[in-house]
Structure 1
Amino acid sequence: MSSNNPNEVRLVGRVSAAPETRALPSGDQLCLGRLVVPRPETRILPSGRKAPSVDVIDLTGWSARARRSMSAWSPGDEVEVTGALRRRFYRAGGSTASRVEVEVTTARRLRRAASG
């Protein structure tokens, strides 16, 4: 990455479901997606074999460019995103909750999902 932004992440993974575009009451639009990113094999199973694991990362696309790119994805596509890690707070069931997501700056499909 060429940016001097200390809060910049780059992820490569597979799209878990078709991204969803939402219109907010303010009139703003955003695109929501989820990325499955493989981890290095570090867990050891009882059999002694290493088990692969993944991280599932929520993505938000606010810019028109990010929304356009993300909305073209299909489940299983391999994609690359860059953006900033954000922690969002919200009210749920009478208490405050939070979640971490990547606010997407750039998004591109690297490989289409194999069609079945």
Structure 2
Amino acid sequence: MSEDHSKNSVFLVGRVSGEAEEKELPSGDKVVEFRIVVARDDREGYDTFDIAVWKSILRKRALSLDEEEWLEVKGVLRRRFWRQGPGVASRWQVEGRELNRI
């Protein structure tokens, strides 16, 4: 078997967009979700990224963020799946593992 060189690493710097929201899942786990907006390097416009944080200390930090606050996010990219109607829906989300105010 050949060596695996896979890497899933995300590093974003942007501004917080909207309020963070805490959710409790059917499993009892809690997650805080919020968005950051990042300017595009190569052209006009912005990209909006959904961020989810699971660790207690990061959930508290995320809930204290202010709109338009500059933030550095380090994490990994995840695809989330859930049942919707008769089928399955999905979306991409950054799982934040570090949040640092700038």
Normalised to the residue count of structure 1, the TM-score between the two structures is 0.77
Give the percent of matched residue pairs that are identical in Structure 1 and Structure 2.
39
The equivalent residue for 2:25 is 24
TM-score by length of 2: 0.87
Count of aligned positions:
98
The superposition leaves residues 24-78 of structure 1 with CA deviations (integer Å, 9 ceiling, x where unpaired) of: 2222111000111110242xxxxxxxxx211110010011122122111011111
Runs of 4+ in 1 over 4 A off after TM superposition: none
Provide the residue aligned with 1:70 in structure 2: 62
Which structure's residues are more often strand, by fraction? Answer: 2
User: What's the RMSD between the two structures over aligned residues?
Assistant: 1.7
Between Structure 1 and Structure 2, whose CA radius of gyration is higher? 1
* Residue equivalent to 1:84: 76
Whole-angstrom distance in 1 between the partners of 2:63 and 2:101 = 11
Tell me if structure 2 keeps the 8 A contact 1:69–1:108: no
| Unaligned stretches of 5+ residues in structure 1 | 43-51, 111-116
Unaligned runs of 5+ in 2: 1-5
